[in-house]
Structure 1
Amino acid sequence: MTRQNQSFPPDLSRLSRSDWLAELRHIGDASGFSEPLGRHHAAVFVEEGDTLLVSFESMSGIEALSDRNVPLGFDMVAQNGWSSLSVLSHGDTWFREPRVYGFFDQLLDDGFFDEFERVIFYGAGPCGYAAAAYSVAAPGARVLLLQPQATLDPRVTEWDDRFVEMRRHDFTSRYGFAPDMIDAAQMAYLVYDPRERLDAMHSALFERRNVRRFRAPFMGGALQSELRALDILPLLLESVAEDKLDTARFAELLRARRDHPPYLRKLLSRLDADERDGLSRLLCRNVVGRMHAPRFRRRLQQLEAQAE
């Protein structure tokens, strides 16, 4: 029996952090396993189908992005009957912790990933780094990364000044340089906004024979929240699982941003900054003709008055 017919995932949105963690442990113990991984990390496994999603997520990210305050994998359990291994962090840690290394070592030694027909690693930003780095423990896995960092070793990425406090951490030992760790993956798919300069520079370090990189211009520096707002992240994961994520499929899914105000505002701002009034006028007419958009209507009136 699948969980699609049960009240899963539960609504944990009203629980305190301590009660939330206790409930996740209870869910894991009842449906698979749960394991603390030191002070800042934990893992929760829910066993269901023969496709396993290994998602790396921060606790604050779950609180911000999930209405029910549950890991992304729980949603995929409910929607698709997948199994879920959620690896959680307290804050942005890049999962650089010996207890986490040991956990994936043990899963590899136990043949845990061999029990599944398909394994998908997923993460965004710091969690995207971790998804790439630890995917080496499951050769043949598929990997979906949203604007990941390749490493924070200053000898390689001294140009990235966003996370200077992490430079004292070790990114050179085990599970270290993320682009090298995906060599054993069947395929890795990386999504980034080329206009986010530092994200684009990290993306270039992932250029490999088994990596497909997809550009998402004007989507900004918070791709995970934007893709979840568009409700296309589950569709991306399903396409990865079915080996169907190519340029055409990605473009088809990304068409949803045509009705996404934050994307449209970024696009208009760029056109205005470049003084491309003709294109700005066409964009405003298109948006006003399809949706209620006072800002675009006002800008269209300004542009038409200038043209006269």
Structure 2
Amino acid sequence: MSDLSAQESRPARRLPDWLSAMDDVAEEDGYLERLGNKHWAFFAETGTTLVVTFERAEALRAREGQMPAIWPLAQQNGWSVLTILAEGETFWRAPEVWGYFDRLVDDAFFDDFDQVLFYGAGAAGYAAGAYVVAAPGARALLISPRASMTPERAGWDRRNPAARRLDFTSRYGYAPDMTEGAERVWLVHDPHYGPDAAHAALFRRPWTTVLNARHTGENTERFLEIAGSQDALILAAMEGTLTPARFAAFWRARREAVPYLKLMLAKAAAAGRPGHEAMICRSVTRRLKAPRFARRLAALMAGDTAPPADPEA
């Protein structure tokens, strides 16, 4: 597909064990390339549809199978995968990374695919928004993305203090501007969570559709995953069929997802809100067979507002 051959891109030295699974896949039709000291590019060609993701190496190492999080969904749908891994909190801001995307542009790499989707959440959402400019006409699904972390643009965001020293002004720097060439951008966030809402406001462009996942705080991607909506969102974005109405239907499905409901109940208990706990339990027990919620509601009605010693009880 591109001039980046496996021989040119795969390091000659022995790879760390955590990279072996990806290297095995890359040997078939793709490559695994080191980008400086803190980044890797993994590419596997399995179809004419490409999903581009950004992921922390620490998360991949902790995952069974040590493959990118998108890999199972991509395999199910016959998608090619390009994942850029980062060691630590880099926000993918390194000359080696933007140089790599420059090379992809020079090689017309993205032209070989019928459809391209960039996906990321949080810092990875920043990277997906920033680098989508390398593939004009691509789509992007951004979950709670950062627009920038430079103090001049986002000094109000006190998270990720180390990122404030990174260079967000060079190539591919300001993510909202970098989305201009995209066919469509979807941005999912909690509008009630101040920092993410402020970043989302910076992305407001005619080609961007903002979708609200209320009460998820800064863990929107985790809530989508627990609610069983994450894969459906990615599929709809890849197909170009993600509308506010369709997102609302996906998001309503969380009301039937027991892991999500347990998490909401635990958050209410941790916040010391027994009235909210009771409301959740009543709603769940009216719709589902949920012994745990029925027991908790009975305890609350008896005046026992202390959180259960066993969170699964």
TM-score, scaled to structure 1: 0.84
Q: 1:205 offset after TM fit, Å?
A: 0.8
The letter for the 2-side match of 1:34 is: L
Where 1:84 maps in the other structure, the secondary structure is strand
Where 1:128 maps in the other structure, the secondary structure is helix
CA separation of 1:109/1:25 partners in 2, compared to 1, >3 Å: closer, same or farther? same
**Greater mean alpha carbon deviation, residues 264-273 or residues 103-112:** 264-273
* CA deviation vs aligned residue, 1:35-88 (integer Å, no higher than 9, x gap): 110111001111011110011111122345x44331033223311001111111
Identity of aligned residues (%): 39
Q: Distance in 2 between matches of 1:267 and 1:248?
A: 28
Contact 1:54 / 1:84 at 8 angstroms: preserved in 2? yes
Which runs of structure 2 are paired with 1:143-162 in the superposition (5 Å)?
143-162=140-159
In structure 2, the residue matched to 1:35 is 33
Q: Distance in 2 between matches of 1:101 and 1:168?
A: 17
CA separation of 1:76/1:305 partners in 2, compared to 1, >3 Å: closer, same or farther? closer
The letter for the 2-side match of 1:207 is: R
- Superposition RMSD in Å: 2.5
Contact 2:21 / 2:66 at 8 angstroms: preserved in 1? no
Q: 1:162 offset after TM fit, Å?
A: 1.0
Contact 1:195 / 1:217 at 8 angstroms: preserved in 2? yes
In structure 2, the residue matched to 1:265 is 265
* CA deviation vs aligned residue, 1:160-204 (integer Å, no higher than 9, x gap): 111222212111111000000001000111111123211111111
Which runs of structure 2 are paired with 1:166-245 in the superposition (5 Å)?
166-245=163-242
Q: Distance in 1 between matches of 2:135 and 2:216?
A: 31
Q: Distance in 2 between matches of 1:59 and 1:206?
A: 27
The letter for the 2-side match of 1:149 is: R
Pairing 1:18–2:5 present: no
In structure 1, the residue matched to 2:307 is none
Q: Distance in 1 between matches of 2:57 and 2:272?
A: 38
Contact 1:257 / 1:263 at 8 angstroms: preserved in 2? no
5+ unaligned residues in a row in structure 1: which ranges?
Answer: 1-16
Pairing 1:57–2:73 present: no
After superposing on structure 2, the runs of 4+ consecutive aligned residues of structure 1 that deviate more than 3 Å are: 266-273, 279-283, 293-306
5+ unaligned residues in a row in structure 2: which ranges?
Answer: 1-14, 305-313
**Greater mean alpha carbon deviation, residues 184-193 or residues 256-265:** 256-265
Pairing 1:133–2:130 present: yes
Contact 1:188 / 1:210 at 8 angstroms: preserved in 2? yes
TM-score, scaled to structure 2: 0.83
The letter for the 1-side match of 2:23 is: R
Contact 1:285 / 1:300 at 8 angstroms: preserved in 2? no
CA separation of 1:293/1:92 partners in 2, compared to 1, >3 Å: closer, same or farther? farther
Q: Distance in 2 between matches of 1:206 and 1:247?
A: 17
Q: Distance in 1 between matches of 2:133 and 2:68?
A: 22
Q: 1:262 offset after TM fit, Å?
A: 4.4
Where 2:253 maps in the other structure, the secondary structure is helix
Q: 1:241 offset after TM fit, Å?
A: 1.3
The letter for the 1-side match of 2:188 is: V
